[in-house]
Chains A and B, each alone.
Chain A
Amino acid sequence: MATTLAKAADGTRSATHAARIEHVSKSFAGPAGQQLVLDDISLDVAPGEFVTLLGASGCGKSTLLNLVAGLDKPTAGGITTDGRPALMFQEHALFPWLTAGKNIELALKLRGTPKNERRERAEELLELVRLGGAHGKRVHELSGGMRQRVALARALAQESRLLLMDEPFAALDAITRDVLHDELTRIWRETGLSVLFVTHNVREAVRLAQRVVLLSSRPGRVARQWTVDIPHPRRIEDTAVAELSVEITEQLRGEIRRHGQH
């Protein structure tokens, strides 16, 4: 597996950040004129850093992720990333007309991997997410957790240095989600990827991240940040995780409460 990881992390250029978000604002045309969704957000993700973006509904966290992914343009401000980022969605978004392995091979093809290397590379990536032997499986034959792992492998196939994740485990059951937290932590530590992970689940944020960024809602602003120095391996039921989660939850509730006071 070492070869796989060396490949994913190769050419670690001397970039000072994996993503730099500078004074980004975004507004959409709504029924009551222009609606400001993101307001003057500035955020850096260092190479190899794991950052979670946390917020209640309406904080524009998915909008921000789309901007970083280049799927949409900010109204003001600028975003620079170290290469094109990979993106994982809440839905697996695997293509049902391809097998699990061919989904990964398509990602490899689109990034220019030579034909004769694709199959082997896809097998390596499936091994990495512990799905060796699932190359020929159809998407509908896989369980929810397996689909998200194939989606992760497909995202890793892009060999970007930044992985964006938009609530990727929100639709999974608790046991599967817990296992995938372990897997993601393992893969992040082995590959040295930078991860920007969006969630509304406070414990998930604390369980995974080195830094938790809390966004306020309507419009989304950076409300507060926490550095999480709880050593790995972490468990979702660890006391340290629970304590920090309580603190962040209090703050999050405060942000939500403000919207009820008019």
Chain B
Amino acid sequence: MASTDTTPKDAGDLAGLEAGLDALETVQTTRKPLRQTLTQKVLPPVVAVALVLAVWQSLITFEVVDDPTKLPAPADVWAVLEKAWLQGELLGYIWTSVSRGLLGFCLALLIATPLGLLLARVKLIRAAIGPVLSGLQSLPSVAWVPPAVIWLGLNNQMMYAVILLGAVPSIANGLLSGVDQVPPLFQRAGRTLGATGLKGTWHITLPAALPGYVAGLKQGWAFSWRSLMAAEIIASFPDLGVGLGQLLENGRNASDMAMVFEAILLILTVGIAIDLLIFSPLERRVLRTRGLLVKS
């Protein structure tokens, strides 16, 4: 290596050396080509779904199960779906449930965020209700339906109460563990820069805790959706409007297995779709900007 003295005439030399080091040590990251994404990420689940359909159809074709009240043919389920679509009811079912689910989730967000921060900040509150809150996560939210019906009656408020009881603990716990995992180094660095007290919370703690918070949101949505379906199935009441849970319950009452399957498929699809459209991209974005996304 050439001489790299810092005399003025060699100052350019140092700059050059530095530029060389920077270039050598910087990792170039490129996004995967579209074709690779398709074959590695999209194709496998499509094939898996096709396989399940094939097995299902063969159970019917080879008359392994030949009782349509036990197992309807895929074509029958499709016909029910198509009919609901043509009558303009399908979107109504979905919207009734999705609007309840998302509104309930937003309410849960508004309650759980300050609650999580309070738990993270105040030791006494954490000692008092922290264990209860994590315990609540393992309580199936369907257990809240009977008391909610007794307290609030058969109405939308009851549904929201059940969603809140399911989702608030998840979101608050996610935020809490996010705050717990903030490296002490960031807090120290923040304090030397003058970010103390509320400034420290706003500029350092909250952004540093974001990955845990987003994971909590994701789980919170799953809990919201499950709680809502439990509430709709158990407490189905015609005046409330038919959501996906009621659709399932109506199918059971009419012994219409194709309708039951239709409802199950819709519940599954909507739950996955909301996660794929909102929460997964949010999580990926947060992780990617921090270089935390492991390339697979």
Residues of A whose CB lies within 8 Å of any CB of B are 69, 71, 84-87, 89, 91, 93, 95-98, 106-107, 110-111, 130-131, 138-146, 154, 158, 175-176, 178-179, 182-183, 185-186, 232-233, 235
Contacts of B22 in A (CB 8 A): 131, 143, 145-146
Cross-interface CB contact of A141 among B5, B21, B26, cutoff 8 Å: B26
A182 vs B16: C-alpha distance when bound (angstroms): 13
B291–A138 contact, CB under 8 A?
Answer: yes
* Residues on B with beta carbons closer than 8 Å to the beta carbon of A179: 4, 14, 17-18, 21
Which of B7, B15, B21 lies in contact with A233, CB distance below 8 A? B7
Q: What are 23 residue pairs bridging A and B, where the CB atoms are less than 8 Å apart in the complex?
A: A69-B192, A84-B192, A89-B189, A91-B185, A93-B186, A95-B186, A95-B204, A95-B207, A97-B207, A97-B210, A98-B207, A106-B193, A106-B203, A139-B290, A143-B21, A143-B25, A146-B25, A176-B21, A179-B18, A182-B4, A182-B6, A183-B14, A183-B18
Complex interface: chain A residues within 8 A of B290 (CB): 96-97, 138-140
Interface residues as binary, B179-194 with A (CB distance below 8 Å gives 1, 0 otherwise)? 0000001101101111
Query: Is B199 at the interface (CB under 8 A from chain A)?
Result: yes
Say if the beta carbon of B175 comes within 8 Å of chain A: no
CA distance A71 to B192 in the complex (A): 8
User: Distance in Å from the Cβ of A161 to the closest Cβ of chain B?
Assistant: 15
0/1 per residue, B193-231, Cβ < 8 Å to A? Answer: 111000100011001101000000000000000000000
Nearest CB in chain A to that of B291: its residue: A140
Smallest CB separation, A217 vs chain B (Å): 24
Are A141 and B291 interface neighbours, CB within 8 A? Answer: yes
Q: Number of residues in B with C-beta < 8 Å to the partner?
A: 36
Chain A residues positioned under 8 Å from B29 (CB to CB): 141
Q: List residues of chain B with CB within 8 A of the CB of A178.
A: 4
Contacts of A110 in B (CB 8 A): 193-195, 199, 203
A216 to chain B: closest CB distance in Å?
A: 26
B193 A89 Cβ-Cβ under 8 A: no
- Residue contact B26 to A86, C-beta cutoff 8 Å: no
In the assembled complex, how far is the CB of residue A183 from the closest CB belonging to chain B, in whole angstroms? 7
B195 / chain A contacts, CB cutoff of 8 Å: 106, 110
Asked whether A95 and B26 contact (CB < 8 A) given A140-B291, A182-B14, A233-B7, the answer is no
Q: Hey, which chain B residues are within 8 Å of A182, CB to CB? A: 4, 6, 14
**What is the CA–CA distance of A67 and B186 in the complex, to the nearest angstrom?**
18
Task: State the main secondary structure of chain B at its contact with A.
Answer: helix
Within the complex, the shortest CB–CB distance from B26 to chain A, in Å, comes to 6
0/1 per residue, B1-33, Cβ < 8 Å to A? 100111100010011011101100111010000
Verify A144–B199 contact, CB threshold 8 A. Answer: no
Contact A145 B185 (CB under 8 A): no
Number of A-B contacts (CB under 8 A): 101
Nearest Cβ on chain B to A104's Cβ, whole angstroms: 10
A71 vs B194: C-alpha distance in the bound complex, in angstroms?
11
Most buried by B among A87, A110, A139, A235: A110
With A and B bound together, what is the CA distance between A141 and B22 in angstroms? 11
Q: Which of A140, A141, A178 has the most chain B CB atoms inside 10 A of its CB? A: A140
Question: How far, in angstroms, from A232 to B17 measured CA to CA in the complex?
Answer: 19
**Is B289's beta carbon under 8 Å from chain A?**
yes
A106 to B207, CA, bound (A): 13
With known contacts A130-B15, A144-B25, A179-B18, A97–B289 Cβ distance under 8 A: yes
Judge whether A96 and B26 touch: CB under 8 Å.
Answer: no
- Complex-state Cα separation, A91 to B7, whole angstroms: 30
How far, in whole Å, are A107 and B194 apart by their CA atoms in the complex? 8
Choose from B7, B185, B208 the contact partner of A89 (Cβ within 8 Å): B185
A145 to B193, Cβ gap below 8 A? no
CA distance A140 to B287 in the complex (A): 11
Residue of A nearest to B4 (CB): A182
A64–chain B nearest beta-carbon distance, Å: 15
With a cutoff of 8 Å between Cβ atoms, the chain B residues found around residue A141 in the complex are 26-27, 29, 291
Inter-chain contacts of B19 with A (CB < 8 A) = 130
> Complex: how many Å from CA A131 to CA B25?
14
Task: Report A226 CB to chain B, min CB distance, Å.
Answer: 22
Contacts of B4 in A (CB 8 A): 178-179, 182
Task: Write out the residue numbers on chain A whose beta carbons fall within 8 Å of the beta carbon of B11.
Answer: 186
Do the beta carbons of A233 and B6 come within 8 Å of each other?
yes
Is A186 a contact of B6 with CB atoms below 8 Å? yes
